Structure 1
Amino acid sequence: MATTQKSFAKGSSAPGPVPKGQIRLFSMRFCPFAQRTRLVLHAKGIKHETVNINLKDKPDWFLEKNPLGLVPTLETVNGQVIYESPITCEYLDEVYAEKKLLPSDPFEKAQQKMLLEHFSKVTPYFYKIPMGKKNGEDVSGLEAELKEKLSKLNEVLVNKKTKFFGGDSVTMIDYMMWPWFERMEMMELKHCLEGRAELKKWVELMLQDPTVKANMFSTDTYKAFYKTYMDGKPDYDYGL
């Protein structure tokens, strides 16, 4: 896998054609949404090239490919462009049929999508709470809401009686939710898992997954990047 690592900013020249037999991922090293796609690419063993983008100063050539300027964005050898993290992940699972991450059963697949829809209401708290703290606001109400939502996820595992959200092995839904749990310690939200035993166990199991291990940063690295982000001067190349 070729990775440029350093992020491309405005004024940079566009990368050449997508290498034959590969797919290109436009990413940002610390973006949880892009991490979803990186996890899927890795778990499925898909040959790919990663091009990191400076999200504060985006290159014009990137905006031509995806006018929304969002990562993750995929580009195929034929120049087809796919974006939005759940869509990129489902696309990869369909096109690269070996080692399917989504269940083939329509109801089970629908269950994963419903759970993802529920989880999309959880992710805003990972921004609202740290922002509120930074501004000196009382975030206890927000933390109570987050805990309630995490309790619901805990219940899903209790009712399913499985180790992971889609069964006894890691599937798509686990990778779609993981990036935010990986950042919990950095955001000082780990205490919100207390009393949610099944969910805590799930976190421990996910930390042992080879794909998760290969795509994670240390809490210290996240903290250092996040500080630059909160100060309004994100250092996308932090640690390189």
Structure 2
Amino acid sequence: MASSEKCLGKGSTPPGPVSNGRIRLYSMRFCPFAQRTRLVLHAKGIKHDTININLKDKPDWFLEKNPMGLVPVLETPAGEVIYESPITCDYLDDVYTDKKLIPADPFERAQQKMLLENFSKVTPYFYKIPMGRRSGEDISKLEEELKEKLNQLNEKLAGKKTKFFAGDAITMIDYMIWPWFERMESLGLKHCMAGSPELKKWTEHMLGDPTIKATMVDSETYKGFYKTYTEGKPDYDYGL
């Protein structure tokens, strides 16, 4: 099997070996964590096949590859399996050395890892706020907390006075945090960036990147998927 845009679920036929000269990505079209890996694959021009997984009804053969049942997962022609989004992205940058995305300087690398660790505290808000809004909860405190965390990112950019987080060229950290900003509008969170002008500029610069343009999903499709998700019946093939 080369690629499967439609997701594979329980009872599906396991894919055969990975083709030589390629790498396989197990993904899900709307997963921001898997999108990180898709961005790196595209940015580096790596030949790959993508197989999408039904995360609600996972195939047994997929759980054998990653018992945690999460995407993204990479598989090599040698049958090596790598998972967890930061680890898959680091692996791709180490193995495919053209167009390096991770800084060579150890301190720069450490700064990116620290920023990524801090950002991991931000991502839950992208789920909590829309779910709270849907169930009629008071989400004002959560929104204020998100605004504050986004403002901290804004200050990082303001201090650097550069287009991106590590200079005037995109590096790994930009791709690692982008997927959540791509979803801002469809999740009804764009207003939370109102007090973060540098972050707004960053999103505009990111939207000019060919890799971002090539891998984006439009807001209406995201909205349609998230509606099925919040109703507890996620349609991973939405829009196909």
When the two structures are superposed, what TM-score results if normalisation uses the length of structure 2? 0.98
Q: Which residue is equivalent to 1:107?
A: 107
Q: Which residue is equivalent to 1:129?
A: 129
Letter of the aligned partner of 1:26 in structure 2?
Y
CA RMSD of aligned residues (A): 0.7
CA distance in 2, matches of 1:182, 1:237: 19
Alignment of 1:138-217 (within 5 A): 138-217=138-217
TM superposition shift of 1:160: 0.9
SS in structure 2 at match of 1:50: strand
CA distance in 2, matches of 1:92, 1:68: 21
Query: Do the aligned partners of 2:147 and 2:195 also contact (CA within 8 Å) in 1?
Result: no
Q: Deviations over 1:143-196 (max 9, x none)?
A: 000000000000000111111011101110000000000000011000011121
Aligned structure 1 segments of 4 or more residues deviating by more than 2 angstroms: none
TM superposition shift of 1:214: 0.6
Q: Which residue is equivalent to 1:76?
A: 76
Letter of the aligned partner of 2:130 in structure 1?
P
Letter of the aligned partner of 2:76 in structure 1?
T
CA distance in 2, matches of 1:40, 1:128: 27
CA distance in 2, matches of 1:3, 1:78: 18
Q: Which residue is equivalent to 1:228?
A: 228
CA distance in 2, matches of 1:226, 1:11: 25
Letter of the aligned partner of 2:181 in structure 1?
F
When the two structures are superposed, what TM-score results if normalisation uses the length of structure 1? 0.98
Residue 43 in structure 1 maps to residue 43 in structure 2:
yes
CA distance in 2, matches of 1:232, 1:19: 36
Letter of the aligned partner of 1:201 in structure 2?
K
Q: Which residue is equivalent to 2:15?
A: 15
Query: Do the aligned partners of 2:66 and 2:73 also contact (CA within 8 Å) in 1?
Result: yes
Q: Which residue is equivalent to 2:24?
A: 24
TM superposition shift of 1:212: 0.5
TM superposition shift of 1:3: 2.8
Letter of the aligned partner of 1:107 in structure 2?
F
TM superposition shift of 1:238: 1.0
Letter of the aligned partner of 2:201 in structure 1?
K
Letter of the aligned partner of 2:227 in structure 1?
K
SS in structure 2 at match of 1:7: strand
CA distance in 2, matches of 1:201, 1:160: 13
Q: Deviations over 1:33-77 (max 9, x none)?
A: 000000000000000010000000000000011111110000011
TM superposition shift of 1:134: 1.0
State the identity %. 74
Q: Which moved more, 1:13-22 or 1:2-11?
A: 2-11
> Where in structure 2 are there 5+ consecutive unaligned residues?
none
TM superposition shift of 1:222: 0.2
